[in-house]
Amino acid sequence: MADTTIKRTNTITHPRYGCAIGAAFSVAAIPGAVPIANCGPGCIGKQAGIITTASQGTAYPGAGNIPSVNWGENEVVFGGAKKLDDLIKSTLKIMKGDLFVVLTGCSGELVGDDVEAVVKKYRNQGYSIVSAGTAGFKGNNLFGHENVSIAIIDQFVGEYKGRKQKKLVNLWFETPYFNSFWRGDYEEIKRILEGAGFEVNILFGSLSKGSESWKKIPKAGFNLLISPWVGLKTVKHLEVKYKQPYLHIPVIPIGEEATSAFLRQVVEFAGIDKTKSEKFIEEESKQYYNYIEHFASFFSQYWFGLPAKFAIVGDSTYNTAFTKFLTDQLGLVPLKAVITDNPPEKYRDKIRDVYHHLTEDDEVSLEPEFVEDGYWIEKILEETDFGSEIGVIFGSSWEKQIAADKNLKLIETSTPSANEVVLNRSYVGYKGALTLIEKVYTVAMGNR
Amino acid sequence: MTSTRKINLSMSECDNREMRLGTITSWDGSASELTKASDYEERSAEKQQKCCGKRGRACQLCELNMPFSQETTCAHAMVSCQIGNITDCILVEHSPIGCSAQQHGLNISMNIGLARRHKQPQTISILSTNLLEKDMVFGASDKLRQTIRDAYYRYSPKAVFISMACSTAIIGEDIDSIAYELQDELGIEVIPLHCEGFRSKHWSTGFDISQHGILRSIVEKNPKKKQKDLINIVQLWGTDYFSDILKPLGLRVNYLVDMASYDELKQASEAVATTTFCHTLGSYMATALEEHFGVPQINAPQPYGIAATDEWLRTIAKVVGKEKIVEEYIESEHKRIQPELDELREKLKGLYGFVMTGSAYAHGLTSVLKELGIGVDGSIVFHHDPVYDSGQENQNTLKFLVDTYGDIPYFTVSKTQPFQLPAILKRSKADFVIIRHGGLATIAAKLGIPSLAMGDESIPIGYDGILRTGRIILNIIARKRFDRILARHTELGYTDWWLSQSDPFILARHPELLDENEESKGDPLNG
């Protein structure tokens, strides 16, 4: 009887993302910016539970320090505007910062408080303060991340009519904290773009100059979006607002070939001189292949078996990039790709297309599945035959049990990750690719 | 009919802690002042419908009303961490996905807990109805029905719980009716829990709500037998030390609620008594089991430090008729731990410790520090219950602490508010802090003070708990080397104005300060 009653429904277990108010951590990732959470007492802590995993921690004003209205019964009955007003006023006195972002959650939006009126009062007094709607029922934390970015652009960055700088590029990339390796990845992308001759305007993380960087957005020659879909709304908004073109790179470059091609594409798009970028690419390639050559002497003659087949579970950002690199550059065999971040329907065909053309020889094609409910993700993995060699799941810690049951290796590359301590590790670009190779093949050790 | 019972199990909703106990979350003074103001005995008399004679505000503990607050946690989260960890029941969270976002953290604690209790590992499965905007407009009852059916058909649980969230409470979802309906359809208990996050001023009401649902629907109402050697212990995920402690009295332990099975919860009414590691967590359950199921609770301080553990063991022995052997047991335990205790006291001499944890547990932890000869001049509890549900005299943990080990001059009630820590720690000589909740330790660390994250709440329990705690503190103290570097190279992040304040509650006493410095309004970087 069970089979007909067990079906794919709206239910989610083992969640892979939080809700829109999780964008408080995108704000906390901007140096000098302070999120002000206009929501219940538990909302922010819960989002921290899924957004800041892999032991990456957070720093002030994250880490439990986020000002919050902590909605109680009184606010539900009488409205929360008064308490929000008190909170903003005291936040400005207590929390050091130069940009304040009010994020309103489910209760505030359902009760229908006029949050903008409260915020405006402080904006009129000269404070840099922004308001963003981030009710959990409106969308997930990726939706919230874009909403907050656009709110800051509209309410803080404001109008700009001046000249643009050709070599200055705004980087729109991984969602802070939600991608556990974002800090190292931002560092690598900045490094290589600078190597190719660009000035990179970083908006999130310690490499950003915070509000100064945000104010600089309209001055950039163009927006560079490296992401399958998150950020598209933002760069399209900027295109209209500042007549600023954007270059969309849907698959993060990993490995020398993809990274060099990426740099050439960006240089071409910007129309800047190629001399510097070509020299940089040459030098990077030399270093990269020296490592690869050494690695090859292990890779090609290791007696005791290497990882062969893999499945990957995670958000589309790493999922696309990893599947491509592992398949095309290392010759691993992809069995399943489960995409967990619920990309809007309109973006899905383009994402599918990446998996249809994974390799240079175009011999490997895979049909990705879009699933958010862990129950079904585990069923998919359960029914997958990983063969007799070392099989690998690239996934979250939710896949730990199924990996153990099937005697597979789990490499935690997606959120939530409970078994990694990540500081500056990166898996992208030139250097990150080498780290990824280390990680993948280290699982073969001890298997003899 | 007027009931003289303290706990009402007839309604699906459970009264908030602030209504039942007069719980406060914001207060500053000495431990002895708080003991006096709490007026435990009078309140206890009042709970038994013998009013203390005082009326209105005289019965209330005055609170400090702060205009500023930082993120904390909520009753809904406590239900997830209690009900979600029952091994063969399923919790359905009726809310947008964000309310279920901490599930993976609960999976970690559950699995560590299962290992500590020698149970098989399993992946936690809490189901979210995953509500979206249209559900807020048109209602979400069908999604709830579907998710309950999913829970049933996928996992064959012994019971399904439904938890209400802020959004579903505001739009008026009728989880009681749907629970009845699905209970008929599926033939298992479907238990509604009214735990929306805005409901109570303190998250610990979520413990009570969890226990309320279990007491109403799972605990056997007409036990056919008594298990004379079974004792209930209301506990979290900690290591099982209670079994060893209670074995000499011929007792087996039935742990409630985390990692318990349906049948273990059900048999709670067959036990000979109920006790707990923390009255904040355990008092509702223990009192209801006593009043409604005839299982007595242990009227004793919590088992922390020598004096309290002695008292606790004697009281249990009395309930189970083992008075004859208990004195000998206590004496041999004293002898056994004494040499290492002396050694630890010598090594820890001159140190100061600072506890910031849940209320009653903090009282216990502080006793253990005092027992080790560690100085305690300040403490933070995240709320304060002036009385517990039992109202039993010997459970007055704060009074026991003050009477046995002396006063604590700076005793703060505050709900995980890191911004107050610089001022609070400034007035303490603390060499280390003990924490269980997020956000506080990093501030202490930036002030150069290392932290003991007491993730295993069982560590300080009983006689050996004193030794275990002492050994760990010696390791923690070594970490000050890391914190020294951190303090040297990182900033706290708060404004200089705030960091110059010595009263952590200054804005409650002088809210007008917020309106000063009007000239700085054009310069928001007011640090």
In a domain, A353, yes or no: yes
Mean pLDDT of B428-432: 97
pLDDT band at A172 (very low <50, low <70, confident <90, very high): very high
Q: How high is the pLDDT of residue A159?
A: 94
Cβ atoms within 10 Å, residue B143: 20
pLDDT band at A447 (very low <50, low <70, confident <90, very high): low
Report the chain A residue with the minimal C-alpha distance to residue B417: A65
HEC sequence for B102-146: CHHHHHHHHHHHHHHCCCCCCCCCEEECCCCHHHHHHCCHHHHHH
A106-139 burial by CB neighbour count: b if 16+ within 10 A, else e? Answer: bbbbbbebebeebbeebbeeebbbbbbbbbbbbb
Beta bridge mates, A130: A101
At B125-144, the pLDDT tens digits run 999 999 999 999 999 999 99
Percentage of chain A lying above the pLDDT 70 cut: 99
Range of the domain at A138: 20-157
State the nearest Cα–Cα gap between A59 and chain B, in angstroms: 9
- Of A129, A157, A185, which residue sits at a domain end? A157
Residue B227 burial (10 A CB sphere; 0-12, 13-18, 19+): middle
Instruction: Kindly list the residues from chain B whose CB atom is less than 8 angstroms away from the CB atom of residue A401.
Output: 121-123
At A312-349, the pLDDT tens digits run 999 999 999 999 999 999 999 999 999 999 999 999 99
Q: Are residues A99 and A197 in the same domain?
A: no
> Which residues lie below 8 Å from residue B515, measured CB to CB, with a gap of 6+?
none
Domain at A267, CATH number: 3.40.50.1980
Q: How high is the pLDDT of residue B438?
A: 86
Where is pLDDT greater, at A331 or B438? A331
In a domain, A198, yes or no: yes
Q: Are residues A178 and A242 in the same domain?
A: yes
Percentage of chain B lying above the pLDDT 70 cut: 94
Instruction: Kindly list the residues from chain B whose CB atom is less than 8 angstroms away from the CB atom of residue A51.
Output: 101
In a domain, A62, yes or no: yes
Residues in chain B: 527
Mutate to test the interface with B, among A7, A38, A93 (most CBs of B within 10 A): A93
Report whether pLDDT(B53) > 50: no
Q: How high is the pLDDT of residue B61?
A: 82
Q: Are residues A271 and A373 in the same domain?
A: no
pLDDT band at B48 (very low <50, low <70, confident <90, very high): low
Report whether pLDDT(B259) > 50: yes
Q: Rounded mean pLDDT of chain A?
A: 96
**Is residue A344 within 8 angstroms of chain B, CB to CB?**
no
CA dist B290 and B286 (Å) reads 6
State the nearest Cα–Cα gap between B155 and chain A, in angstroms: 10
- Of A250, A279, A308, which residue sits at a domain end? A279
At B194-219, the pLDDT tens digits run 999 999 999 999 999 999 999 999 99
In a domain, A285, yes or no: no
Report whether pLDDT(A285) > 80: yes
Instruction: Kindly list the residues from chain A whose CB atom is less than 8 angstroms away from the CB atom of residue B135.
Output: 137
CA dist B167 and B180 (Å) reads 21
Interchain proximity A136–B98, CB inside 8 Å = yes
Mean pLDDT of B448-467: 96
Report whether pLDDT(B3) > 60: no
In a domain, A64, yes or no: yes
Q: Are residues A170 and A79 in the same domain?
A: no
Q: How far out from the chain centre does Cα B233 lie?
A: 14
Q: Are residues A301 and A420 in the same domain?
A: yes
Q: Is A309 helix (H, G, I), strand (E, B) or coil?
A: strand
In a domain, A4, yes or no: no
Report the chain A residue with the minimal C-alpha distance to residue B172: A110
Mean pLDDT of B108-117: 96
pLDDT band at B82 (very low <50, low <70, confident <90, very high): very high
Mean pLDDT of B450-464: 96
Interchain proximity A6–B498, CB inside 8 Å = no
Picking from B72, B128, B438, the nearest residue to A70 by CB comes out as: B72
At A297-309, the pLDDT tens digits run 999 999 888 999 9
Interchain proximity B97–A397, CB inside 8 Å = no
Q: Is A196 helix (H, G, I), strand (E, B) or coil?
A: coil
State the nearest Cα–Cα gap between B448 and chain A, in angstroms: 16
Q: Rounded mean pLDDT of chain B?
A: 93
Of the listed ranges A161-175, A370-384, B39-53, B285-299, the least confidently predicted one is B39-53
Q: How high is the pLDDT of residue B42?
A: 86
Report whether pLDDT(B340) > 70: yes
Mutate to test the interface with A, among B109, B166, B168 (most CBs of A within 10 A): B166
Instruction: Kindly list the residues from chain A whose CB atom is less than 8 angstroms away from the CB atom of residue B171.
Output: 110
Which value does ipTM take for this structure?
0.96
Q: Are residues A256 and A196 in the same domain?
A: yes
Mean pLDDT of B404-419: 97
> Which residues lie below 8 Å from residue B319, measured CB to CB, with a gap of 6+?
B272, B273, B296, B298
Instruction: Kindly list the residues from chain B whose CB atom is less than 8 angstroms away from the CB atom of residue A20.
Output: 98
pLDDT band at B522 (very low <50, low <70, confident <90, very high): very low
Report whether pLDDT(B297) > 70: yes
Mutate to test the interface with A, among B74, B91, B104 (most CBs of A within 10 A): B104
Cβ contacts from A onto B, under 8 A:
267
Residues 97-116 of A with CB under 8 A from B: 97-98, 100, 105-107, 110-111
Q: Are residues A332 and A439 in the same domain?
A: yes
In a domain, A9, yes or no: no
Q: How high is the pLDDT of residue B46?
A: 66
Sheet strands side by side (includes B252-257): B252-257, B230-235, B273-276
Q: How high is the pLDDT of residue B57?
A: 41
Q: Are residues A379 and A268 in the same domain?
A: no
At A129-155, the pLDDT tens digits run 999 999 999 999 999 999 999 999 999
Mutate to test the interface with B, among A4, A8, A10, A104 (most CBs of B within 10 A): A10
Report the chain A residue with the minimal C-alpha distance to residue B124: A14
Number of domains in chain A: 3
Instruction: Kindly list the residues from chain A whose CB atom is less than 8 angstroms away from the CB atom of residue B104.
Output: 14-15, 49-50, 53, 396-398, 416, 418
Q: Are residues A346 and A441 in the same domain?
A: yes
Report whether pLDDT(B60) > 70: no
Residues 123-182 of A with CB under 8 A from B: 125-128, 135-138, 140-141
Q: Are residues A224 and A305 in the same domain?
A: no
DSSP B339: H
Instruction: Kindly list the residues from chain B whose CB atom is less than 8 angstroms away from the CB atom of residue A128.
Output: 524
Percentage of chain B lying above the pLDDT 90 cut: 92
Categorise residue B43: left if φ over 0, alpha if ψ from -120 to 50, beta otherwise. Answer: alpha
Q: Are residues A72 and A180 in the same domain?
A: no
Q: Are residues A299 and A439 in the same domain?
A: yes
Interchain proximity B198–A75, CB inside 8 Å = yes
Report whether pLDDT(B497) > 70: yes
Interchain proximity A12–B418, CB inside 8 Å = no
Instruction: Kindly list the residues from chain A whose CB atom is less than 8 angstroms away from the CB atom of residue B414.
Output: none
Q: How high is the pLDDT of residue A446?
A: 73
**Is residue A20 within 8 angstroms of chain B, CB to CB?**
yes
- Of A157, A191, A221, which residue sits at a domain end? A157
Q: How far out from the chain centre does Cα A97 lie?
A: 24
CA dist B392 and A246 (Å) reads 69
Interchain proximity A94–B104, CB inside 8 Å = no
The four Cα atoms B178, B179, B183, B188 give a dihedral, to 10 degrees, of 150
In a domain, A356, yes or no: yes
